[in-house]
Structure 1
Amino acid sequence: MPPPHPVYHRTPLPPGARRKVGWLMLCWMLIVFSPFVGFALRGKVEERGLVLGLYFALLPLCGLLALRRLHRAGLRRVPPDVVDEWRHGRLVPPEGAPPVAPPLRYAGPRHWIELRADGVLASRSALLHLNGEGGIAEVIDSLRVADAAGQYFVPWAAIDGWEIDTDGDGPDFHRLRLRPRGFVLLRRFRAGAGHEAGLLDGVRSIGRVPVLLKDDLTAP
């Protein structure tokens, strides 16, 4: 496994405090398929097979409870500030960022994000979601403008914070938290040249915006 990035990573958890994702997935799969196990044991699809499958589901349910207890016991041995990093993210302030001159363009084969002196410009394909203060009508108007222009712009003055996060059911994303409320989600992607850490350096240096880590970067 590649080493963590020297700046953009959370404090590693000890093995006993990490979630056992493989075992969790196995337990949930056994719960979902428990009725079919009951039907297989009965040899046909009938009510008794369904009841037998529900009884079988008690085994992975007990496994989930045991995994939860082990995870909590492991977290109790971790310092509170480290637990807070993994629950709420680790904040990297703009102070101490390496100097970056605008514009900084972070581009891949299909998507791009450009950090300009006045704000963030992103390709329409990199824009995942909008949640503005003005409601659905304002969001629809903004999306129409972005569709027509092929890009979307957010001024630095409107950005209160920048988060990097991961989504197991969809693409990983950057969340731009807006003032006074709302957010913009931009797709995370691998650039043709450069490292994602360079983009975050630019956010802190050009925009003077703090970065909240809810995911970890590896060293380049």
Structure 2
Amino acid sequence: MEEEKSEVRNMETRIFEAAEELFLNQGYAKTSTGQIAKLAGCNQALVHYYYRTKDNLFDLVFESKVRLVVNNILAVDSPEGNLDSKIAGMVGAHFDYLKQNPKIIPFIFNELSTNYERLQSLIAKLQQYPQSLLTHLKADLKEGIEKGLVREISEIDLLLSIASLNVTPFLIMPFFQKALNLSDKELDIALEKRKAEIIETVLSRLRK
């Protein structure tokens, strides 16, 4: 019985991972359930059995990727360390995650730009994020503002600044790499330099 349950979970995971790979590489429109089934090593009937429709499967993949991007900003939100070190850690961790997963940002932007309803649905789901995830950051900002160490800013505005600054390089760097004929090593050096500049930019904007 346990072995059967394990096989079911394994097949469900294989289908999800196959869909994830195809959606990231070629987008929603160019991916079919037949391609997903072939990559997962099953038939189309099983894809529909576990996930009903391609839309349902795509929404699960898409939402999981967006949540990973958001969670990697919040992951360093902890009660330890001073405000500068915490924010530098948040910016760096988020940037490194995007660097290790370069297909995620183009994937998200492409799908949002072609499906307004999906954007609205995503916003509604993200609004359900537990506010407790921001507890430490909110408290630290409040303390810094009261002590006159940082300017008046909300935790949401700060996170939006971090996200927008970190995301931009991964939208434009592929074009720069081709246009300037940069090697992967040269691109890596450029990205690390950009990360340091973003950290300094975020911190300098906080200071009064």
Fold-level similarity (TM above 0.5):
no
| Bigger proportion of residues as helix | 2
Q: TM-score category by the smaller chain?
A: under 0.3
| Bigger proportion of residues as strand | 1
The TM-score, its normalising length taken from structure 2, stands at: 0.25
Q: Which has the higher contact order (CA 8 A, sep 6+)?
A: 1
